[in-house]
């Protein structure tokens, strides 16, 4: 690799990292129940309670891989439990994705210029940047999924012996990140079938061994817990999922197009979902037409290869899970490579048009990064204002009002009546900065992670009722809980920290 290319690639990496962590110091990080749950699990691992079961999936009985927990462990250890350090660590790993993007594009196109352009698009992509600092297991799919297709190209197009290793590693890690990303098995099987005459049994065996080894914790967890995951997957296939039961073919087609249009938009042109989705379709159509015009068909052409990568999500739509945007995690890289080739191949004779296209992408993505990323990972937030900055303002307020004396809290949360999040905040930040924990007056937290707050004592009078943003929470539950609070305490004042409300009360 030439020195100029290395310098350019390093500069792109620095740009990517800067765009991903620029707002973290001010606490612009989405931190909700799932993230606190994972932090508690990592804390247990660091204390010697090793885990084999990963985070739960949206389908009851199904779990993701445990790899994410162990990946986070060094960051939580070095950061002494800080979600900000863990988030910056994930952002760093995500930024290294520019190397994967560059290498895969270089293998496909043989052009350093196009490869650097693809790496640059990856660095500035708003959609990619939202995943980067997101403390959730699908975030790592942004670099594990491209490994699948990098390995597949090395294996089938380049004939490299380590291609099957990279493919198996990428697929196994992707399923560790998000169990449903197993749908990438379909493009793998498709290309293995196309190239079946050239594939040696030894390479297939290597692929299977590496994949099974990488996904071994998932397999062991299934064996240990009675194959509940297999039963959960079977229930989806037989349409026991309520969402799937009452949908028709046309519904799935529309939902697929809408979801893919959104992925295209957030990756390339996030300022306008409609134009971004249309741009994605245009790029795919042009790539297909370019392939059809080839006079000499290669064994594996980049056009159908990348199209099969980008459209692979079609395999999962009919099984449900349409409302979860992270099922498309990792497709962004395929879209970005297609976009870079589009600029280099199709617009090389139209310099003005190419320049306008580049300027549009840069302005659209950077504009959204500087507008939205300071609010946290808004693409994945139901409760939009649940950022670490807001939460720490709440914790600081309760301690400052107590002036070193004991106080109690109750929390109204999503999921309902689970204090896992606030318990983590008070244990990591509150106790670390103020030296003691608040007491607890809310509902029983037995078997919930973070159930270590002492029960409120009769002599403790100062009390705080913390109310999370109401998105996704039925209003009548708050009415009931406020009634219970009024029975045992008297309201003094209510403060708002964004959409988080805190009632200062005194016990009756």
Give the pLDDT confidence of 387-436 residue by residue, as tens digits.
999 999 999 999 999 999 999 999 999 999 999 999 999 999 999 999 99
What angle is formed at CA 224 by the lines to CA 221 and CA 228, rounded to 5 degrees? 70
What pLDDT digit, counting tens, does each position of 178-237 carry?
998 999 999 999 999 999 888 999 999 999 999 999 999 999 988 887 777 677 666 665
Structural domain boundaries of the chain?
27-380, 388-507
Residue 142's pLDDT band, with cuts at 50, 70 and 90, is very high
3-class secondary structure for 255-267?
Answer: HHHHHHHHHHHHH
Structure confidence at residue 107 (pLDDT): 95
Contact status, residue 125 vs residue 267, Cβ threshold 8 Å:
yes
Q: What angle do CA 33, 39, 41 make, to 5 degrees?
A: 105
Query: How far apart are the C-alpha atoms of 385 and 388, rounded to whole Å?
Result: 9
Given a cut of 80, is residue 344 above it in pLDDT? yes
Question: Average pLDDT in the 359-376 region?
Answer: 94
Task: Please compute the mean of the pLDDT values over residues 265-277 and round it to a whole number.
Answer: 90
Average pLDDT for 471-476: 90
Q: Give Cα separations from 406 to 289, 409, 486, 503 (angstroms).
A: 71, 10, 20, 16
- Kindly report the length of the chain: 508
For residue 247, the model assigns a pLDDT of: 61
Report field, pTM of the whole predicted structure over 0.85: yes
Distance, in Å, from the CA atom of 145 to the CA atom of 162, rounded to the nearest integer, reads: 17
Total Cβ atoms within 10 A of residue 292:
8
- CA–CA separation, 54 vs 180, rounded Å? 13
Residue with the bigger pLDDT between 228 and 437: it is: 437
Percent of the chain with pLDDT over 90: 74
Position 249 scores a pLDDT of: 63
C-alpha–C-alpha distance, residues 66 and 314, integer Å = 26
Q: Average pLDDT, stretch 467-474?
A: 92
pLDDT of residue 191: 95
| C-alpha–C-alpha distance, residues 96 and 118, integer Å | 13
């Amino acid at each position: 690799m030439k020195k100029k290319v290395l310098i350019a690639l390093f500069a792109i990496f620095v740009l990517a990292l800067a765009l991903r962590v620029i707002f973290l110091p001010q606490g612009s990080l989405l931190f909700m129940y799932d993230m606190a749950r994972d932090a508690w699990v990592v804390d247990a691992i660091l204390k010697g309670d090793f885990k084999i079961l990963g985070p739960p999936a949206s389908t009851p009985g199904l779990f993701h891989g445990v790899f994410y927990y162990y990946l986070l462990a060094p960051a939580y250890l070095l950061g002494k439990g800080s979600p900000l350090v863990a988030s910056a660590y994930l952002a760093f790993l995500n930024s290294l994705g520019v190397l994967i993007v560059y290498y895969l594009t270089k293998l496909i196109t043989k052009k350093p210029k196009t490869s650097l352009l693809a790496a640059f698009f990856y660095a500035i992509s708003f959609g990619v940047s939202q995943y980067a600092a997101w403390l959730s297991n699908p975030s790592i799919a942004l670099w594990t999924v491209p490994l699948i297709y990098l390995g597949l190209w090395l294996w089938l197009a380049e004939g490299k012996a380590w291609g099957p290793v990279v493919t198996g590693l990428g697929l196994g890690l992707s399923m560790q990140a998000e169990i449903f990303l197993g749908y990438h098995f379909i493009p793998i099987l498709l290309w293995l079938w196309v190239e079946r005459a050239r594939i040696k049994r030894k390479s297939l065996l290597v692929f299977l061994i590496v994949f099974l080894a990488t996904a071994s914790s998932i397999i062991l967890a299934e064996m240990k817990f009675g194959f509940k995951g297999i039963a959960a997957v079977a229930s989806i296939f037989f349409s026991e999922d309520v969402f799937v039961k009452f949908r028709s073919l046309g519904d799935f087609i529309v939902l697929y197009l809408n979801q893919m249009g959104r992925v295209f938009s957030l990756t390339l042109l996030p300022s306008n979902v409609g134009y971004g989705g249309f741009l994605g379709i245009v790029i795919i159509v042009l790539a297909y037409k370019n392939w059809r015009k080839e006079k000499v068909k290669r064994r594996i052409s980049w056009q159908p290869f990348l199209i099969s990568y980008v459209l692979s999500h079609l395999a999962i739509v009919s099984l449900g899970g349409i409302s979860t945007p992270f099922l498309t995690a990792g497709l962004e890289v395929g879209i970005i490579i297609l976009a870079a080739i589009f600029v280099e191949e199709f617009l090389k004779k139209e310099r003005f048009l190419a320049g306008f296209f580049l300027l549009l992408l840069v302005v659209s993505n950077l504009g959204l990064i500087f507008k939205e990323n300071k609010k946290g990972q808004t693409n994945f937030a139901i409760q939009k204002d649940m950022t670490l900055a807001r939460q720490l303002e709440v914790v600081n307020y309760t301690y400052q009002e107590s002036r070193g004396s004991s106080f109690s809290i109750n929390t109204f949360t999503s999921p309902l009546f689970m204090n896992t999040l606030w318990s983590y905040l008070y244990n990591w930040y509150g106790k670390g900065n103020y030296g003691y924990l608040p007491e607890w007056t809310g509902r029983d937290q037995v078997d919930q992670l973070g159930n270590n707050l002492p029960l409120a004592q009769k002599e403790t009078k100062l009390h705080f009722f913390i109310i999370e943003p109401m998105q996704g929470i039925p209003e009548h539950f708050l009415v009931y809980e406020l009634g219970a609070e009024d029975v045992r305490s008297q309201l003094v004042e209510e403060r708002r920290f964004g959409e988080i409300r805190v009632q200062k009360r005194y016990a009756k």
